[in-house]
Every structure is written in C-alpha cells, then in structure tokens.
Structure 1
Amino acid sequence: MTIDDRYLARGPRVGIRHFTAADREEFTALARESTGLHRPWLFPPAEDAAYDAYLRRLQEPPREGFLICELADGRIAGYLTINNIVHGAFRCGAIGYGAFAHAAGRGLMGEGLRLVLHHAFGEMGLHRLEVNVQPANERSIALVRRAGFRLEGFSPDFLFIDGAWRDHERWAITAEMVAGDAV
C-alpha cells in the first residue's frame, strides 16, 4: 500500500485518512509542540499511553477518527473525530478537531473539514454533524462558520474541560447545506 492509497479523500493540499498505531510518534510530538495553540481549548494525547487509549476509543462503533495530512509530504496537519454517531432516523454525530501549530492559519483544516463533511454525508450516510465550541475560541468559530455551519444555540456548563464545566456554542451542518459544495 502506498501512502496515497491510505487516503479516503483528497483535496488540492490535504488528504484524510484513519488514525493508525504507526502515527503515535508523529501525533504525540505534534501535540506536545502545539500545546500553546491548543490550551485551554483541547488536550489531544501527547504521550504514548494516552495515544494508544485514544486510538482504542476511535475503534468503538459510535466513533470515527480522521487525520488531515499534507499531500506534499504526508505530514499530519490536524485531526478530526466524529463522536456519538447515531444511525437510523437520527443519522447524526458530534465532531471535535484540532490543528497542529505548523499547519495553523494555512487553510489546511478548512480543506480537511470539507473532505470529512463530504465523506460523512456520503460514504458514512450521516445527515447532520454538530460541533460545540467555547465562545472565546474565535479561531474554531471562524473555521466552522467558513465551512457553512449555522449557530443553533448556547449551552451553559456543557463540557468538563481542564477542570471545569465550560459553556459552549452549538453549531451544526446538514447534508443539504454542503450538497454540491466543492472541496
């Protein structure tokens, strides 16, 4: 299998693929290098044992995990997970994501997010994806706004992050909202 064969979808600059155990060293090193960018919003696995536990959770049926990789060299630019996937009449999931410092501000996450949206609404058969963002996380809000998500509400004390219950804005997008959207 070549590196290109691993991609589920490709855009002009990035491809998306699933997490593997072989990604542990690169992912954890990038997570450690990106601590200043991520805090206080998210805490990706930065140590081997934490990555292994994260990878195991991504194998559970209600989850899918995607690495967003630069096509030029295969380097991981960021990641996106779909959690709490429910099929049937609901066909929904909740996404979480993070860019790594070397890729931040270059539009790679936006391109990767669009690839994941098309994959989720196509191959995965989902209809709706939701994201919850802390109101002060301006970069994350800008990312989902550019991708076409709509603000649907505010949830006080929604997620327990960094030792406290944090307020979040609820954003969502449906398959119809991205139909025909070019990657």
Structure 2
Amino acid sequence: MSGFWPVVLSEGGLVLRPLRRQDAKEYVEVRRHNAEWLLPWEATNPDPGYSLPAFPTLRRLLNGQARQGLLLPFAIEVDGRFRGQLTVSSFQWGSLMSATAGYWIDERVAGRGIVPTAVALATDYCFSGLGLHRMEINIRPENAASLRVVEKLGFRDEGIRERYMHIDGKWCDHRTFALVAEDVPFGLLDAWQRTRNRSERDFG
C-alpha cells in the first residue's frame, strides 16, 4: 500500500486532503470551539499521562504513518476552510481487504451532508483505488448524529461490541456498521447522491 499518499479527493466545496502546516491556526480554533461537543465521542488513550500532541507534531505523525501505508489521515476542508478530520485506519489485507473509518466535524457546519459525502469519497477511494472489499465504522449507541450518517449511506448494523473503545475516561460499547464493495457497484458517492436527491424531491 505504500505510495498511495498523498491523495486529494473532492466533491463540490468539500475537499479531503493531507493536513498542511498552514492549517495550524484553524485547527486549534476548531478544536477549542468543539471541545465539549466532541468529548463524549472521541477516542482517548487510557494512559492518564497521555496528551494529544500539538498540531505540528500531530501533522508529522499522521503524514508519516500515511507514507508508511498505515493510515489515510484526511483533513476535511469546506469552502476553503479546515473543518474536521476523517481517518481511515486498521487496514487488513489478504483474505479480509478491509479498513475502518472514523471522523469528526465542526458543529458549526454539521447537518449539511458534509460527513456522509466525505465518508463516501473515502470509501470509494478505498474500494476502487486500493482494492479494499469492506469498510467499517464503529459508533457509540448514544451518538445520534453519527448513526444518521451510516443510515443515510446504507451501512449495515452488525451489532454491539461491548467495551470496545476508550472514550472520556471509560471503556464504551460501540455499534459496528459495515459496507462491502458489492453493495455499491457504482460507488458510494453515487448511491448517496441519488438518496439525497430523492429526499430533497420528497420533502422539498
């Protein structure tokens, strides 16, 4: 998988791209503004001495892991501004050919279809560009906003994983959702856009 990074994906005013040095100021502002909003949902390290690296170190770590073929760490850019992140990780090759997607978005632009579009773009790249077969997303059962994302995109609910991930000081249950390439023969973005257009026609 080495050599697949950097990659830039786009649809309309949405761009998925590597983090850049010049994102530092907006990254800090967006993270500060959304600290409380993201707290119940973001993965944490159970080591009490761990703290998230400062932006320059984080950017180097993520892009370094991407060059090694371990991650796809996208910045979510909306209308030219940094607004969140989407990371594809846990790549499994051989007989599985799968990966896991995770994301967060600035609450000020939530509810506009940005996250479903971003997930669709990344999934299509993984399916058609990297040859993966399965994309997985794990969500806390209480996270209504993220549950709506996978519902809109047609991910299947595969059930509960008990105490699956450490979040905000405790091990939390997650629901696992998955999609395979055969589910979207013309691509997930195409399927999502068709669903979105039908919804807009139905509800005006």
Contact 1:15 1:68 in 2 (8 A): yes
Contact 1:62 1:86 in 2 (8 A): no
Rg: which structure is higher? 2
Counterpart Cα distance in 1 of 2:20 and 2:134 = 26
Counterpart Cα distance in 2 of 1:58 and 1:173 = 26
Q: 1:159 aligns with which of 155, 159, 165?
A: 165
Deviation at 1:132, TM superposition (A): 0.9
Which residue does 2:32 correspond to in 1? 32
1:69 equivalent to 2:77? Answer: yes
Distance 1:30 1:17, change over 3 A: same
Give the TM-score of the pair, scaled to structure 2. Answer: 0.76
Moved more, 130-139 or 29-38: 29-38
1:118 equivalent to 2:124? Answer: yes
* 1:35-85 deviation per Cα after TM superposition (whole angstroms, max 9, x unaligned): 2321211169xx983334433045323211112212x3x112321101111
Distance 1:138 1:126, change over 3 A: same
Counterpart Cα distance in 2 of 1:176 and 1:18 = 28
Counterpart Cα distance in 2 of 1:165 and 1:128 = 25
1:59 equivalent to 2:64? Answer: yes
The runs of 5 or more residues in structure 1 that have no matched partner are 1-5
Counterpart Cα distance in 1 of 2:183 and 2:25 = 37
Counterpart Cα distance in 1 of 2:73 and 2:183 = 22
Deviation at 1:87, TM superposition (A): 2.0
Give the TM-score of the pair, scaled to structure 1. Answer: 0.84
Distance 1:35 1:93, change over 3 A: same
Counterpart Cα distance in 2 of 1:17 and 1:38 = 22
* 1:72-120 deviation per Cα after TM superposition (whole angstroms, max 9, x unaligned): 3x11232110111122222111111001122111111121111111111
Which residue does 1:107 correspond to in 2? 113
Distance 1:64 1:105, change over 3 A: same
Contact 2:18 2:63 in 1 (8 A): no
Task: State the Cα RMSD in Å.
Answer: 2.3
1:93 equivalent to 2:99? Answer: yes
Which residue does 1:3 correspond to in 2? none
Bigger fraction of residues in helix? 2
Contact 2:40 2:168 in 1 (8 A): yes
One-letter code aligned to 1:119: Y
Contact 1:77 1:109 in 2 (8 A): no
Contact 2:43 2:166 in 1 (8 A): no
Deviation at 1:144, TM superposition (A): 1.2
Counterpart Cα distance in 2 of 1:82 and 1:169 = 17
One-letter code aligned to 2:74: F
Contact 1:92 1:128 in 2 (8 A): yes
Which residue does 2:18 correspond to in 1? 18
Count the aligned residue pairs. Answer: 174
Counterpart Cα distance in 2 of 1:7 and 1:58 = 11
The runs of 5 or more residues in structure 2 that have no matched partner are 1-5, 45-50, 194-204
